[in-house]
Amino acid sequence: MAMSSLLPGATTRGIFASSSSVLPCAGSRVERCNARRLAPIRCVGVQAETIAADNLFRDYKPRTAFLFPGQGAQELGMGKSAHEVGEAAALFAKASNILGYDLLDVCMNGPKEKLDSTVISQPAIYVASLAAVEALRAREGGQAIIDSIDVACGLSLGEYTALVFAGVLSFEDGLKVVKKRGEAMQAASDATKGGMASVIGLDPVKVQALCDAANEEVSEEDRVQIANFLCPGNYAVSGGLKGIDAVEAKAKSFKARMLVRLAVAGAFHTQYMASAVPTLEAALADIEFKVPRIPVISNVDAQPHSDPKIIKEILAKQVTSPVQWETTVKTLLSRGLENAYELGPGKVISGIFKRVDKNSPPVTNVSV
């Protein structure tokens, strides 16, 4: 997640044909906690050659980005135009063979409860997003756009999609890992009975204070934390159901404008998902990862990594680590991003860009 021989402007068609998804203001308490959490990725004692191998994209200068959505973006009817693009339809057919069920039929016809389940929604969004790349390729001028992409990132699950686009692993291998990831996260969710909620209208320091207040009233197994730093005024908290109930009960007293329960199976991006890590590590170990041909920004630390071994390690950490999406967007914009495309269902990412910076470049949505 060998494509390393491809130059950044090279076509990605071979990738899909191969057989082989915010840190707050500087100095805040939340930022310091996150910095301590992320530091081990480049800890003292890592061999110099490993650090050097991982620094290929240290000074990357993004101009045009591909952005891939994560779980929650699924919607009934997605994939409805896949049959109009041969390569997109082929991806759904390959996926159905790997998964053992007709994925496109589930995307089109549901039922919604089935599509929304973790084990189905993750492969569905992954395939629909890469099918959107093929839909773009089929348009006039689409290949030129694809060739111009010099950075990719994805929201949680979307990081896997971005890594496939960047040539790190094949479509088939990526789907196999995503399938295992969804199954492992569902199993962890069934075992822990957690949930998530978006807190709207507060900065991250106040959201952390809200979590702290909620945690004073629940037992250790129901504690909550910030799990997703999406954009200013929108931070998702994750944890035990009683902890989420406590957050909801206290949100108004903290001046939150709104609290929205998220339709997810469990407490994603926290230690509640720890039991999913060994399964995911085993799945990743079985897959060959290659050096990305373009930078792919990690959800864990908002940095691009080039060492395949480190990419695998970070992906395993991703399910228990907060998503640093606001920092990712701010970094892309500060480094000169000029244009972006959101590939896949929904328009969540394009909305986030405007929330981070109302003067951000346009994000064009492409879906099938």
* CA dist., res. 180 & res. 171, Å (int): 14
Would you state the structure tokens that stand for residue 151, as one six-digit string?
């950075």
- Find the length of the chain: 368
Give the HSE-up count for residue 38: Cα atoms under 13 Å, Cβ half-sphere: 17
Active site residue: 21, 121, 129, 156, which one? 156
What values do phi and psi take at 171, rounded to 5?
-55, -45
Give the HSE-up count for residue 235: Cα atoms under 13 Å, Cβ half-sphere: 30
Cβ pair 194, 238 in contact under 8 A: yes
The yes-or-no answer on residue 121 being catalytic is: no
The yes-or-no answer on residue 83 being catalytic is: no
* CA dist., res. 300 & res. 321, Å (int): 6
Cβ pair 298, 304 in contact under 8 A: yes
**DSSP character at residue 304:** B
| Strand pairing class (258-261; 194-200) | antiparallel
Active site residue: 269, 305, 306, 321, which one? 269
* CA dist., res. 338 & res. 363, Å (int): 10
Which residue in 113, 115, 114 sits closest to 78, CA to CA?
Answer: 115
Give the HSE-up count for residue 272: Cα atoms under 13 Å, Cβ half-sphere: 32
Neighbours of 54 (CB within 10 A): 22
* CA dist., res. 107 & res. 352, Å (int): 25
**DSSP character at residue 64:** E
Residue ranges of alpha helices (H) inside the chain are 13-17, 29-38, 48-53, 86-99, 103-109, 112-116, 118-138, 142-148, 158-165, 171-192, 204-215, 241-251, 277-285, 308-318, 325-334, 348-356
| Strand pairing class (234-240; 224-231) | antiparallel
- Report, as residue numbers or ranges, the catalytic residues: 156, 269
